[in-house]
Amino acid sequence: MTRKIHLALHPYGVGGPGQHGLWKDPSVAKNASIDINYYIQQARAAEHALFDALFIVDSQFINATYPAHYLNRLEPLTLLSAVATHTRHIGLVGTASSTYNSPFNLARRFGSLDHISGGRAGWNVVTSFDTGTSRNYGLEEHLDYTTRYGRALESVRVVRGLWDSYEDDAFPADVERGVFLDPSKLHALNHEGEHFRVDGPLNLSRSPQGQPVIFQAGVSEEGRDLAAQVAEGIYAPGGSLADAHAYYTDIKTRTAAAGRDPEHIKIFIHGGPVVRGTDEAARRRAAEILDEDNDFDRNVGLLGRAFGAHDFSRYDLDAPFPDVAHLAEKGGRTGAAKIIDRARAENLTLRQVVESFSERRTSPFVGAPGTVADTIADWFAAGTFDGINLAFRNNEDLNWFVDGVVPLLQERGLFRTEYESDTLRGNLGLPIPANRNSLVRA
Binding residues for FMN: 58, 95, 149, 220
Is 237 in contact with 335 (CB distance < 8 Å)?
Answer: no
Cα–Cα distance, 347 to 353 (Å, whole number) = 10
Which SS3 state, helix, strand or coil, does residue 387 take? strand
Phi, psi at residue 4, to the nearest 5°?
-115, 155
Nearest CA among 142, 13, 150, 25 for reference residue 76 = 13
Cα–Cα distance, 152 to 162 (Å, whole number) = 15
Any idea what the Cα angle at residue 428 is, between residues 427 and 430, rounded to 5°? 110
Which SS3 state, helix, strand or coil, does residue 55 take? strand
Cα–Cα distance, 108 to 114 (Å, whole number) = 10
Is 201 in contact with 187 (CB distance < 8 Å)?
Answer: yes
Distance from CA of residue 12 to its chain's centroid? 12
Cα–Cα distance, 20 to 69 (Å, whole number) = 10
Q: Which residues, 6+ apart, have CB-to-CB distance to 274 below 8 Å?
A: 282, 285, 286, 289, 363, 365, 366, 393, 397
First to last CA, the chain: 32
Single-letter residue type at 214:
I
H or E segment and range at residue 154: helix 145-163
Is 229 in contact with 257 (CB distance < 8 Å)?
Answer: no
Q: Tell me the binding residues.
A: 58, 95, 149, 220
Nearest CA among 401, 393, 387, 376 for reference residue 11 = 393
